[in-house]
Structure 1
Amino acid sequence: MTFPKSAPIAVVIGSGFGGLAAAIRLSVQGYSVKVLEKLDKPGGRAYVYEQDGFTFDAGPTIITAPFLLEELWTLCGKRFADDIDLRPMDPFYRIRFHDGTHFDYSGDPQAMLEEVARFSPEDIDGYHRFLEDAERCRRLGFEGLGSIAFDTLIDLIKAIPSFARMGAWRSIYTLVAKHLKNDKLRIVMSFHPLLIGGNPFSVTCAYALINSLERTWGVHSAMGGTGAIVKGLVKLLQERGVDIRLNAPVSRIEVQKGRATGVTLSNGEFIAADIVVSNADTAWTYKHLVAPEHRLQWTDRKIDKGHYSMGLFVWYFGTNRTYPEVPHHMMVLGPRYKELLRDIFKRHHLSEDFSLYLHRPTATDPALAPDGCDTFYVLSPVPHLDSGTDWALHAETYRTAICAELERTVLPNLSQHLVTSKVNTPQDFHDRLWSFKGAGFGLEPLLLQSAWFRPHNRSEDVQGLFMVGAGTHPGAGVPGVLMSAKALETVVPHVDSFV
């Protein structure tokens, strides 16, 4: 596909899921789109590492609202299923408690009732009531508000009844505790905000919508890994004639008379644009790519005062044996829960104990490792860089401690079977992915950092500048960043307005 010479130019900074989805939607609208990626291949946080015959998804590992991806293929006149093979997860997750007991969290209603009853029969009725609240949050929050850009105060005022019906001033843990008495079940039903960078004890209960989202559309994994979806999106763009430039970091968004006019790359090259869409971290975009004199709303002071998500310590490793008893997704919880989260989010203190998310994609797709081997990714939530942790000094010690804990709990003799290893720390997120403070998910999804209170999809400071991705509305997670691109459609100028 070729664009008419008169087509307005949209420059998209970054090729994460949000940037690729935005590029597709803008291309379909008639924009001539250029995607600029800092790294050597597309994906952003969904980067793929290939090492010693093992394939590692660097970031997102699950798909919970596949229809949002299917929409992009449909917009391009294609069928998602022709390019991507999604497999349903069963269970969605296994949550292993420190005492060795575990809860298999699945999409099977009867199996879930049996699991709840196994832990606390008296909580069955409360579980049903929680599901009703979670479904209400999905209908009002995800379906009702997710793709609204919250561009004006009027948008917020219109949404207030929905926030009230959700009881959004409560934390999700408070909502769960209202219905369930068993401490373990309270953890199981409230941990989901951690998947998008939030503390369950602080994050608005509106994010109970994630529980309902999973029950409604399931939890899936792509054969070939999440990177296969990135490749599919890139293919859609290439077939539409969209230019994707790699190794092209942007050093500045150029602004004249209050309007974005293009970007300057780190090599000094200027690329003109009618609109600029940043899929880079929103706080980083404002603080490092837009000069202070152009920012009345998102000043350095306001950016610095925000409450940011936790950092992520991610260890990618391969073994020369398989662990068939380990499911695709697993939580390995430590001895503390609330106190550990307080250390991470409030005190910004790196604790000696941890809770882990363990991803074994070869449980579903053995081709991601050599024959007879397993590919793993283990993620430990840690404080962001305000902790002052020198990760160059502490990374190996921390990795060794995680290895010992996995060896003690779910991966016996792990250290004897390691054949490849790679680590990413909050410092890597800061340096490589331009994550402000090394926070893995941008702003924490607190009530007063959500919807209208979050950085808008249409910049409040610079005309012609727009935001997609985890740092803008509606927030982090693959569904969130895909919906940010959908919200973008409602605020970008129609191509005819440039004629």
Structure 2
Amino acid sequence: MHTVKELLQMDPMRSMDATTRKYFSNEHLRQLFNFLIMYIGSSPYHAPAVLTQLAHVQLGLGIYYVKGGMYKIAEAMDKLLQELGVTVHLNTPVKEITTSGAKATGITLENGESLSADVVVSNLEAIPTYRYLLKNHAQAAKQTQQLAKFEPTVSGLVLLLGVNKQYKQLQHHNFFFSKDQKEEFDTIFNKGKIAMDPTIYIGVSSKSDPTQAPEGKENLFVLTHVPPLKEGDDWAALKDRYRDVVLKKLEAMGLEDLRSSIEFEYTFTPNDIQELYGANGGSIYGVATDRKKNGGFKIPARSQLLSNLYFVGGSTHPGGGVPMVTLSGQLTADAINEDFQIPRMQKDIG
């Protein structure tokens, strides 16, 4: 537990931006340290100052890469589940969580099959779970309203590019910043519009792992943050225009002939993210961290509506992103073990 003095040193009443400005006078450094909050999809002008600790996590503790890509985590978990005798149903959409009183009794699949369960864990975000999987429960709509303070984080336009050259100036992780961070955050978070001078992230895993691209070529993961979807939003008409904004900026900032070098391209829009993952508003990182609206907290892993319903994913603690979501699964498993007095199993994933 932290002492009162330690808690006060975390500037609990300040925004992340206010604390960043306490320590840095240079606007470029302020922008760099402020932008680390986008790892959880929030605004430094809204998020609590305690999240300045993200700088220590990223720059002090360092970042790790999974050889072969993040999907190796899923493959390792699948291997472990098989060793434990767990049956995994792939490509099996769930229609509804069935209930009786204050308990979940199981699930109904889209094909009409029913499965009973002692515990239900939803990997769909909490709000869409109540909205869609529990829509027939009398109290689900009220529960959704109570969670309205947990707004979705930013979404993103993602370009997966295979290029026929290597950009020596790129590292594994790269940021191309906007000229005016305050205007960029205001446009995205307050006005709900796309920024025409966006900050762009490029990940090049082939810099650390040559197996990720053919010799002499590179794989570019290009991410630009955009507002979450509002009712009726459709990126079909906007996708190509905003793609050009992004690629033109990257070429202007030194990635010469980028567009003519593309051999492979796959695009994810906010609509794709919402459809594929059921993410609220196409959110990438779950729910936004806002010191005024939700105190910087996430949605509890334990359902407030059903005693044996639990959540994992970006909308619960500790937040969005593959590492954090993986931890959320561990924390939820610990909560279930505690509630049902189940001894924790110790087994390595290999």
TM-score (normalizing by structure 1): 0.64
Q: 1:320 aligns with which of 164, 167, 174?
A: 164
CA–CA distance in 2 between the matches of 1:310 and 1:271?
A: 35
1:494 aligned onto 2:310: no
1:374 aligned onto 2:218: yes
Q: What's the counterpart of residue 39 of structure 2?
A: 195
1:411 aligned onto 2:264: no
Q: What's the counterpart of residue 258 of structure 1?
A: 102
Tell me if structure 1 keeps the 8 A contact 2:164–2:262: yes
Residues 144-183 of structure 1, C-alpha deviation per residue, up to 9 Å, x if partnerless? Answer: xxxxxxxxxxxxxxx9887545222211111110111111
Q: Aligned-pair RMSD on alpha carbons?
A: 2.4
Q: What's the counterpart of residue 205 of structure 1?
A: 49
Q: What's the counterpart of residue 242 of structure 1?
A: 86
1:329 aligned onto 2:159: no
- Specify every segment of 5 or more residues in structure 2 that has no aligned partner in the other structure, as ranges: 344-350
CA–CA distance in 1 between the matches of 2:93 and 2:295?
A: 29
Flag the structure with higher helix content: 1
Tell me if structure 2 keeps the 8 A contact 1:318–1:376: yes
Q: What one-letter code is carried by the residue in structure 1 that aligns with 2:211?
A: A
CA–CA distance in 2 between the matches of 1:228 and 1:265?
A: 28
Residues 378-408 of structure 1, C-alpha deviation per residue, up to 9 Å, x if partnerless? Answer: 0001111128643011101111221111122
Residues 84-135 of structure 1, C-alpha deviation per residue, up to 9 Å, x if partnerless? Answer: xxxxxxxxxxxxxxxxxxxxxxxxxxxxxxxxxxxxxxxxxxxxxxxxxxxx
CA–CA distance in 2 between the matches of 1:221 and 1:436?
A: 28
CA–CA distance in 2 between the matches of 1:162 and 1:315?
A: 42
Q: 2:68 aligns with which of 199, 221, 224?
A: 224
CA–CA distance in 2 between the matches of 1:395 and 1:269?
A: 38
Residues 204-242 of structure 1, C-alpha deviation per residue, up to 9 Å, x if partnerless? Answer: 111122222234531111221111222122212221112
Tell me if structure 2 keeps the 8 A contact 1:294–1:461: no
Q: 1:310 to 1:269 in 2, by over 3 A?
A: same
Q: What one-letter code is carried by the residue in structure 1 that aligns with 2:225?
A: P
Q: Which is further off, 362-371 or 382-391?
A: 382-391
Residues 11-57 of structure 1, C-alpha deviation per residue, up to 9 Å, x if partnerless? Answer: xxxxxxxxxxxxxxxxxxxxxxxxxxxxxxxxxxxxxxxxxxxxxxx
Give the 3-state SS of the residue equivalent to 2:195 in structure 1. coil
Deviation at 1:327, TM superposition (A): 0.6
1:311 aligned onto 2:155: yes
Deviation at 1:201, TM superposition (A): 1.4
CA–CA distance in 2 between the matches of 1:237 and 1:298?
A: 36
Counting only pairs closer than 5 Å after superposition, residues 85-234 of structure 1 correspond to structure 2 as 163-234=7-78
Q: 1:217 to 1:371 in 2, by over 3 A?
A: same
Q: Which is further off, 407-416 or 458-467?
A: 407-416
CA–CA distance in 2 between the matches of 1:243 and 1:162?
A: 46
Q: What's the counterpart of residue 65 of structure 1?
A: none
Tell me if structure 1 keeps the 8 A contact 2:125–2:311: no
Q: 1:182 to 1:223 in 2, by over 3 A?
A: same
CA–CA distance in 1 between the matches of 2:317 and 2:98?
A: 24
Counting only pairs closer than 5 Å after superposition, residues 378-417 of structure 1 correspond to structure 2 as 378-386=222-230, 389-417=233-261
Give the 3-state SS of the residue equivalent to 1:358 in structure 2. strand
Matched residues, percent identical? 29
Deviation at 1:283, TM superposition (A): 1.5
Tell me if structure 1 keeps the 8 A contact 2:160–2:221: yes
CA–CA distance in 1 between the matches of 2:342 and 2:74?
A: 30
Q: Which is further off, 199-208 or 441-450?
A: 441-450
Tell me if structure 2 keeps the 8 A contact 1:253–1:260: yes
Q: 1:231 to 1:298 in 2, by over 3 A?
A: farther
TM-score (normalizing by structure 2): 0.90
> Size of the alignment, in residue pairs?
340
Q: 1:496 to 1:225 in 2, by over 3 A?
A: closer
CA–CA distance in 2 between the matches of 1:416 and 1:284?
A: 40
Q: What's the counterpart of residue 449 of structure 1?
A: 294
Q: 1:489 to 1:164 in 2, by over 3 A?
A: farther
Q: What's the counterpart of residue 346 of structure 2?
A: none
CA–CA distance in 1 between the matches of 2:237 and 2:38?
A: 26
Tell me if structure 1 keeps the 8 A contact 2:130–2:140: no
Q: 2:320 aligns with which of 476, 479, 482?
A: 476
Q: 1:244 to 1:216 in 2, by over 3 A?
A: farther
CA–CA distance in 2 between the matches of 1:266 and 1:161?
A: 53
CA–CA distance in 1 between the matches of 2:50 and 2:256?
A: 39
Structure 1 segments of 4+ aligned residues over 6 angstroms from their partners: 159-162
Q: Which is further off, 260-269 or 484-493?
A: 484-493
Q: 1:426 aligns with which of 259, 267, 270?
A: 270
Tell me if structure 2 keeps the 8 A contact 1:222–1:228: yes
Q: What's the counterpart of residue 299 of structure 1?
A: 143
CA–CA distance in 2 between the matches of 1:240 and 1:173?
A: 47
Q: 1:164 to 1:487 in 2, by over 3 A?
A: farther
Q: 1:215 to 1:372 in 2, by over 3 A?
A: closer
Greater relative contact order: 1 or 2 (C-alpha under 8 angstroms, separation 6 or more)? 1
Deviation at 1:416, TM superposition (A): 1.5
Q: What one-letter code is carried by the residue in structure 2 that aligns with 1:420?
A: F
Q: 1:415 to 1:215 in 2, by over 3 A?
A: closer
